[in-house]
Amino acid sequence: MLQTPSGGADDGAAATDTGLLSIGAVLNVLREEFPEVTISKIRFLESEGLVEPRRTPSGYRKFSAEDVERLGHVLRMQRDHYLPLKVIREHLAAMERGEAVPLPALSRAGDGEDPAECVPEKPTAARIGRCQLLAAGVDEQRLAEWESYGLLVPVGDGVYDAEAVTVAGLLMELGRYGIEPRHLRAMKAAAEREAGLVEQVVAPLRRHRNPQTRAHAEDRTKELAGLTMKLHAALVRSALGVRLP
């Protein structure tokens, strides 16, 4: 069972004197079991009606312990059973009615079957199947459009980089504000330039004759990626003149 931290502070703290958690605190709790979860993912699940946090007068989200447990249950059903959000929503509704409902066993999609109801292969740390994207709430039409603009690119036959789930969630969230895939081509190009810069720096390490030095290239890549992402976020905030909560 997920454990929530205790304490008291303001909107940005782990918990308030009412026992409610900020979205950042919820993220820290969930990451103990779900290391890949992001704030965007939590917001996406909220937008899909799977959790309904309270709001402070200033607009901050505040989550109860029950909200955190519910989020954990949703993420577990996605991770362990590959269930689409529609099925998860129905399952949660049945539980709230006090019904003992077993999790549905999904079958692999074939000709004429809904691809969102297939069981994908177990994901690796670096790869994810197309079926898992569909099970996470992405529809075929959206996926095809994102691919046409290069926002999601398969690395093989029906296989994507594991980061594709995060990208898909962010694309859907941006879409609710009227930001379409065609608007994001410049952002994709900028990301590729940033990645190219990082690759340029670590390339000598990857080519080194010493195996330990080559292994160090992965750590250096992660460090540089983190720095470039922080710089990019800071530049966007500076250009807009805003501070994010």
Q: What is the pTM of this model?
A: 0.48
Would you state the pLDDT for residue 150? Answer: 85
CA angle 151–243–198, rounded 5-degree value: 45
Instruction: Report how far apart, in Å, the C-alpha atoms of 145 and of each of 98, 172, 176 are.
Output: 40, 12, 15
Would you state the pLDDT for residue 156? Answer: 67
Would you state the pLDDT for residue 108? Answer: 35
Would you state the pLDDT for residue 244? Answer: 66
Would you state the pLDDT for residue 101? Answer: 67
- CATH architecture of the domain covering 1-103: Orthogonal Bundle (1.10)
Would you state the pLDDT for residue 15? Answer: 44
Going from N- to C-terminal start, the domains of the chain cover 1-103, 106-179, 184-240
* Reduced 3-state DSSP string for the chain: CCCCCCCCCCCCCCCCCCCCECHHHHHHHHCCCCCCCCHHHHHHHHHCCCCCCEECCCCCEEECHHHHHHHHHHHHHHHHHCCCHHHHHHHHHHHHCCCCCCCCCCCCCCCCCCHHHCCCCCCCCCEEEHHHHHHCCCCHHHHHHHHHCCCCCCCECCEEECCHHHHHHHHHHHHCCCCCHHHHHHHHHHHHHHHHHHHHHHHHHHCCCCHHHHHHHHHHHHHHHHHHHHHHHHHHHHHHCCCCC
Would you state the pLDDT for residue 65? Answer: 93
- Residue pair 173/43 in contact (Cβ under 8 Å)? The answer is yes
Average pLDDT for consecutive 10-residue bins of the chain (245 residues)?
A: 43 54 92 85 85 89 93 85 75 82 49 42 60 76 84 77 83 86 87 87 83 81 88 88 73
- Residue pair 130/154 in contact (Cβ under 8 Å)? The answer is yes
